[in-house]
Structure 1
Amino acid sequence: MKKILLAGLALVTLIACKNETKETEETPKNEVAFNTLLDDYYEEGLKLNPLNATMTGDNRYNDQFPDVLSAEYKQELKAYYNKYKDALVTYDDENLSETEQMSKEVLLWDINVNLEGMEYKKDLMPIDQMWSPHLMFGQLASGASAQPFKTTEDYRNWQLRVDDYLVWLNSAEANMRKGIEEGYVLPKSLIKKVVPQMDAMAQPDVENHLFYTPVTNFPEGMTEEDKNIIRTDYKKMIEGKVIPAYAKMRDFLAGEYMDAGRDSSGYSELSDGSEYYKYAIKYYTTTNMTADEIHNLGLSEVARIRTEMEKVKAQVGFKGTLQEFFNDVRSNKKLMPYDTPEEIIANFKEMLETIKPQVNQLFSVQPKTAFEVRRTEAFREKSASAEYNPGSLDGTRPGIFYVPIPDAATYNVYSDESLFLHEAIPGHHFQISLTQESEVLPQFRKTLWYSAYGEGWALYSESLGKELGLYTDPYQYFGTLGAEMHRAVRLVVDTGIHTKGWSREKAIAYCLENEAESEASIISEIERYMAMPGQALSYKIGQLKIRELRDRASAALGNKFDIREYHKQVLETGCIPLAVLEEKIDEWIKENKI
């Protein structure tokens, strides 16, 4: 699952609908002030990150897209963090409830880690092939994502937002030019992937342009006069602004920037890259682990999972080596049974029906938010991974599991069951939706995204397949081992690329040796790690901690252990740093042992 991060703030996943806190006899004065502080932090954060507000279903800022690369914005953001940091430390823990103490601890961690992140130069590489705002903006432009196109005002808001976005796009080029001067640039292999993305938006066929799509899907009730005006305005916007801006960026990337691009793969080759990677480990894993510790853990996990894979290979009667079995799985036509994208989407929907009866046995609390499976949009699916986009709290937009299907005939299904459990149910859809729907958590806690917790939960969810009625086919079980291996090799190759001088090619070769993903998929993944150092570490680190805590609780509580209650304890807090989660579970164990 990927998220757009604006100036270090995590993707907001909750609609801004707060009730005014009223002081009563049951609510101490200091509690009112503390809760108000948390609410103010959330509300002010939405103003600084209007795209995040839109993603939650809060439409107050749909006409805005701040230039997060500007010095003025960064100064404002830093002042925002410091203001609330100074305010938080005035509250004594002894005067706060346990929930409030956790909120204080989490918010201080979040503020400090984001302030630290602002000290590095990563903004000199503001565009890449997988994570940068131009990709999310394309989704919004399609009219099929969070940006609403239901009224004439919605259409006008989008025009204003486009104007702001093009300012950001211009600032991105300016930053990249500064990066050229300082030798702080993307690897050539990544630049090659971004150029076609920009080129797709620079094509002159206006009526088939992605940004014209909302004009082809007017809502009911709009007058013909308004439709004609909007058609005219959108054509002018696309012809006069959007296409020239993308063409300019395409030409810059394909020309000057490509010439200046790095041949190296890792951040250790950049001026502050080694220090930034240490920070990235802390940010994405929410731990103080070192790169060497993570690398060695990865090697250990790879060896363990290979042993399990050998057992499956023997079960299906394959006589060759594990490497040969990988090749067989990659190319086995029996694992490519579909001809159309619709058949692939239907297969995922069947999985949902299979697990429904067992879900109640593992989860006492389940989300109300609707859920859909959709094919990834054509303009980005060649470089995209499967992902989950959260729904809105008011129910007008469901949680969506996006599946890229560039070629249905070569789509390999061997890992689809684990993929569904990770991205959909009970993975991201349960975890994010339950956070959004919580009536206990303060607003800002519902806006946080920590990969170690969120992606750790999703990877842990994959391990629940047999308990949920899946993995009856040995190839699908091999698929979940492959998915876990995929996250284990990340610990090795991500640290290898960014701290040990591994080349792109060495990392690809290591993955081909240890997992059954296709070569094309592995190349895309390695280039993902090159673009966003550290993020890929979060999955396995988080999964191992959640599994460790489950085993600890089960051993300590014996017959008192209830898996439904354990899952409730993990999910009810929303995203929190792993150390905070461990403290919570240890306290729960202590209380239940009595």
Structure 2
Amino acid sequence: MTNSETNRPATAIDAVAERYVDKIARMSPITATELGLPGDPRALDDFSPAGLQADADAARETLAELAAQQPVDDVDVVTVDAMNERLQLKVDLHERGYTLGTLNVIESPLQGIRAIFDLTPTSTVDDWDNVAGRLRTVPQAIRGYMESLTAGRQQDRVAAIRQVRQGIEQANQIGAGDGFFTRFADRASTEGGELPASLRADLSEAADGAATAYRELASFLESEIVPVAREDDAVGREEYALWSQYFIGAQVDLEETYEWGRQELDRIITEQQQVAGQIKPGAGIREAMEILDADPSTTLEGTEALRTWMQKLADTAVSELAGTHFDIPDPVREIECCIAPTQDGGIYYTGPTDDFSRPGRMWWSVPEGVTTFNAWRETTTVYHEGVPGHHLQVGQTVYRRELLNRWRRLACWVSGHGEGWALYAERLMADLGYLDNPADRMGMLDGQRLRAARVVLDIGVHLRLPAPAELGGGTWDAEKAWPFLTSNASMDDGFLKFELDRYLGWPGQAPSYKVGQRLWEQIRDEARQSCEAASSEFDAKAFHRRALDIGSVGLDTLRRAML
């Protein structure tokens, strides 16, 4: 970063962006906690129709404020471009009713209300007092959510029955007598030891109220939503196109992307077959994977061994890549690898707080009863979630305090940009020689194959496209999606069933990973071609630095900013 960038004064457009972040933190205490912003630590979001309307109104007001300002430098130009794209989409989705009564298996208020307690501070007595206050707010948040579900039902905006049934199961699990809230309160302690008896009693009572609210949500879904839930999983072209743009931050030709996904899938399978032959001459892909699974040198026993392995690999990547292939600021060189308190099987990343007092963290949610892990499958996952993946991407953006406003650094996250970068980072690590071991390379290809397959599956089902002949022809649907998914992923059926439900209930999100990688690679290649046309040498390190300094923006915005 040059001195001129370091000393860049805040502009009127930065001020608009900062005010919008303040509005977000006030309206969404959950977001404030996630980002480490000042907010009410005892509150939760308003998920009622009034809360959704306030969110859309804040976006409209900010769009009007932006329109009244003129950019004074290139940073402003990108801010205006990115905010116009993101906020207008937010308004469009709200006006069409697509955000009303959201319900799916992974990313809806049902999960979000519970999940914020994973990030709520719990180090001190005061922290736990705030937790008790937030637990007491859960029933109000659930009631607001049920109001939106009711309003959605009245406007014929109801989730598919598949999502509703899974939502009922999740709500009952969370609200059970031995469910999350009860266990959370029972484990309460500070770094100094036990809590005062009065606070522990308060926590127990508040946790009971939160659990009761989730059981009431399950009953509400059963009685009020199940009877009117639609059977068809597909959302159709009009809605899908808007969600696709929302998740990618770019308008793509959906049919062309579907066909590209099929070609990419074939290319990856061919590469897997080549690697399988390196593991054992003549072996097929499945046989090679079975050999790797049986190899004790690639096996980890127990969650602590898993966590230790993750941490060592993540730290090694930081130390070896810093200063050579990437510029990694000092605060970003710390990453914590954690076993998540949940047991749903997911692996995910949470970014650092604004001041880095809470570092970036890589989480592994280990399913109950799972004690053996195959490292060959997950080496690339550590690079995806850590460095040079999400941790470098998010951490570097958060660090650019003197260049970017808070909306650019903290509040804007576009899945196609972020997840696309993480897949781009996986391939980059292969190009740099970190996945030359056939086992690790097979692991990377295994993950990339799944991401390519779900481009095909997601677009095919939601647009009701013709299914391939090998699936029996006809129209894509969940029944055809299942054998297609299981043939392209080497995972437990229970995990894959959840994955399929996720794709069916969260249209456009799953393809954003692989499509995002495609667009990242296109932007890089276009930048290289531009250098060659100008008879200058392409500097990959400088390209990555400049790209990540822009922050997580829509990929159309990124292309305009970089090219």
- TM tier, shorter chain? 0.7 to 0.9
Among 76, 79, 91, which residue is 2:54 paired with?
A: 76
Matched, 1:425 2:387: yes
Query: What residue in structure 2 maps to residue 5 of structure 1?
Result: none
Q: Give SS of 2:361's match.
A: strand
Matched, 1:109 2:85: yes
Query: What residue in structure 2 maps to residue 289 of structure 1?
Result: 252
Query: What residue in structure 1 maps to residue 555 of structure 2?
Result: 578
Matched, 1:569 2:546: yes
Among 172, 178, 198, which residue is 1:229 paired with?
A: 198
Residues 29-108 of structure 1 aligned to structure 2 (within 5 Å): 32-71=11-50, 73-93=51-71, 96-108=72-84
Matches of 2:122 and 2:493 in 1, distance apart?
40
User: How many Å apart are 1:98 and its aligned residue?
Assistant: 1.3
Classify 1:32/1:403 alpha carbon distance in 2 versus 1 (closer, same or farther; 3 Å). Answer: closer
Return the letter of the residue paired with 1:585. M
Q: Give SS of 1:560's match.
A: coil
Deviations 1:529-558 (A, max 9, x none): 112110112111221122222233334435
Deviations 1:248-271 (A, max 9, x none): 223344565445544432223xxx
Residues 319-468 of structure 1 aligned to structure 2 (within 5 Å): 319=282, 321-322=284-285, 324-325=286-287, 328=290, 332=294, 337-355=299-317, 356-366=319-329, 368-369=331-332, 370-378=334-342, 381-382=343-344, 384-406=345-367, 407-438=369-400, 439-446=402-409, 447-468=411-432
Length, aligned pairs only: 539
Matches of 1:303 and 1:371 in 2, distance apart?
36
Query: What residue in structure 2 maps to residue 508 of structure 1?
Result: 482
Matches of 1:69 and 1:158 in 2, distance apart?
22
Q: Is there any run of 5+ residues in structure 1 with no aligned partner, and where?
A: 1-23, 269-273, 587-594
Q: Give SS of 2:363's match.
A: strand
TM-score of the pair, normalised by structure 2: 0.87
Among 199, 213, 221, which residue is 1:245 paired with?
A: 213
User: How many Å apart are 1:572 and its aligned residue?
Assistant: 0.6
Classify 1:119/1:332 alpha carbon distance in 2 versus 1 (closer, same or farther; 3 Å). Answer: farther
Residues 340, 364 of structure 2: 8 Å contact kept: yes
Among 169, 176, 183, which residue is 1:210 paired with?
A: 183
The CA RMSD over aligned residues, in Å, is: 2.9
Return the letter of the residue paired with 2:127. D
Deviations 1:381-406 (A, max 9, x none): 23x42100112132321211111222
Return the letter of the residue paired with 2:391. H
Query: What residue in structure 2 maps to residue 4 of structure 1?
Result: none
Residues 367, 437 of structure 1: 8 Å contact kept: no
Query: What residue in structure 1 maps to residue 97 of structure 2?
Result: 121
Quote the sequence identity (%).
22
Return the letter of the residue paired with 2:363. Y
Matches of 1:351 and 1:290 in 2, distance apart?
38
TM-score of the pair, normalised by structure 1: 0.83
Matches of 2:162 and 2:54 in 1, distance apart?
35
Deviations 1:182-239 (A, max 9, x none): 664434443443334322333335998134146x3035399x7xx2221222232233
Matches of 1:508 and 1:67 in 2, distance apart?
36
Return the letter of the residue paired with 1:265. D
Query: What residue in structure 1 maps to residue 243 of structure 2?
Result: 280
User: How many Å apart are 1:286 and its aligned residue?
Assistant: 1.4
Which stretch of structure 1 is more off in the superposition, 567-576 or 181-190? 181-190
User: How many Å apart are 1:147 and its aligned residue?
Assistant: 1.5
User: How many Å apart are 1:352 and its aligned residue?
Assistant: 2.6
Classify 1:326/1:59 alpha carbon distance in 2 versus 1 (closer, same or farther; 3 Å). Answer: farther
Matches of 1:578 and 1:34 in 2, distance apart?
21
Classify 1:352/1:208 alpha carbon distance in 2 versus 1 (closer, same or farther; 3 Å). Answer: closer
Classify 1:360/1:32 alpha carbon distance in 2 versus 1 (closer, same or farther; 3 Å). Answer: closer
Among 535, 554, 565, which residue is 2:509 paired with?
A: 535
Query: What residue in structure 1 maps to residue 4 of structure 2?
Result: none
Which stretch of structure 1 is more off in the superposition, 82-91 or 420-429? 82-91
Classify 1:585/1:520 alpha carbon distance in 2 versus 1 (closer, same or farther; 3 Å). Answer: same
Matches of 1:201 and 1:102 in 2, distance apart?
42
Classify 1:563/1:275 alpha carbon distance in 2 versus 1 (closer, same or farther; 3 Å). Answer: same
Matches of 2:254 and 2:522 in 1, distance apart?
21
Query: What residue in structure 2 maps to residue 172 of structure 1?
Result: 145
Among 136, 147, 162, which residue is 2:120 paired with?
A: 147
